[in-house]
């Protein structure tokens, strides 16, 4: 880190502490040449995620759009807003950790269905009916039958 006083390229860290929300670290540094002290901030660089849609068009990942689709699927269900927010956060973290900057909507949809299936089966079927665009009642019933077959007997 270059000293703002003398432009010397080397400094030492005197003190480090995270900010209140933990999103950055404040560092007090001292120049090894002129001994001037200065402050730097270190933050995580977030690479923007681009979503590749079915028609091959691309748009930035929108956390709120994903949350709204989950809210619609969970309408009038016993699913808390915190659970819905948690699903979106988990999916967003998976996408960030994938180190891919272009993600197909099909992958995101499958992640949502997997999370909703664990949380609420009705919300899962609602989301799947829109996501998979069931053409008729037979396709819908096939999905329900798969869900019933997978469910362990009580």
Asked if residues 125 and 143 have their Cβ atoms less than 8 Å apart, the reply is: yes
β-sheet bridge partners, residue 58: 52
Report the alpha-carbon distance of residue 131 to residue 108 in Å, rounded: 10
pLDDT at position 44: 78
pLDDT digits (tens, 9 = 90+) for 54-70: 899 999 999 999 999 99
Tell me: pLDDT of 141 over 80: no
Q: What is the mean pLDDT of the chain?
A: 87
pLDDT band at 31 (very low <50, low <70, confident <90, very high): very high
Q: Kindly state the percentage of the chain with pLDDT values over 70.
A: 92
Q: Structurally, how many domains does the chain consist of?
A: 2
Q: CA nearest 11: which of 47, 42, 37?
A: 37
Asked if residues 27 and 42 have their Cβ atoms less than 8 Å apart, the reply is: yes
Please state the rounded mean pLDDT for residues 40-50: 85
Residue 57 and residue 103 in one domain: yes
Residue 20 and residue 65 in one domain: no
Residue 27 and residue 61 in one domain: no
Asked, for residue 110, whether it belongs to a domain, the answer is yes
pLDDT at position 23: 75
Report the alpha-carbon distance of residue 16 to residue 29 in Å, rounded: 9
Asked, for residue 6, whether it belongs to a domain, the answer is no
Asked, for residue 116, whether it belongs to a domain, the answer is yes
Asked if residues 91 and 66 have their Cβ atoms less than 8 Å apart, the reply is: yes
pLDDT at position 153: 55
Residue 66 and residue 84 in one domain: yes
Residue 55 and residue 23 in one domain: no
Please state the rounded mean pLDDT for residues 17-42: 90
Low-confidence winner among 17-26, 67-76, 85-94, 135-144 (lowest mean pLDDT): 135-144
pLDDT at position 131: 72
Residue 18 and residue 94 in one domain: no
Tell me: pLDDT of 125 over 80: yes
β-sheet bridge partners, residue 134: none
pLDDT at position 135: 67
Which residue segment(s) compose the domain that 142 sits in?
A: 50-150
Q: Label residue 56 left, alpha or beta by phi (over 0 means left) and psi (-120 to 50 means alpha).
A: left
């Amino acid at each position: 880190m270059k000293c703002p006083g003398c432009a010397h390229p080397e400094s030492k860290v005197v003190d480090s502490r995270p900010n209140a929300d933990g999103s950055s670290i404040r560092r007090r540094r001292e120049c090894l040449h002129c001994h001037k002290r200065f402050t730097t901030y270190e933050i995580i660089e977030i690479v923007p995620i681009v979503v590749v849609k079915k028609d091959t068009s691309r748009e930035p990942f929108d956390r709120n759009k994903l949350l709204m689709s989950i809210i619609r699927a969970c309408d009038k269900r016993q699913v808390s807003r915190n659970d819905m927010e948690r699903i979106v956060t988990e999916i967003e973290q998976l996408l960030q950790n994938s180190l891919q900057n272009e993600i197909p909507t099909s992958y995101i949809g499958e992640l949502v269905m997997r999370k909703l299936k664990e949380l609420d089966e009705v919300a899962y079927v609602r989301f799947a009916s829109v996501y998979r665009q069931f053409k008729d009642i037979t396709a819908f019933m096939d999905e329900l039958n798969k869900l019933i077959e997978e469910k362990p007997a009580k």
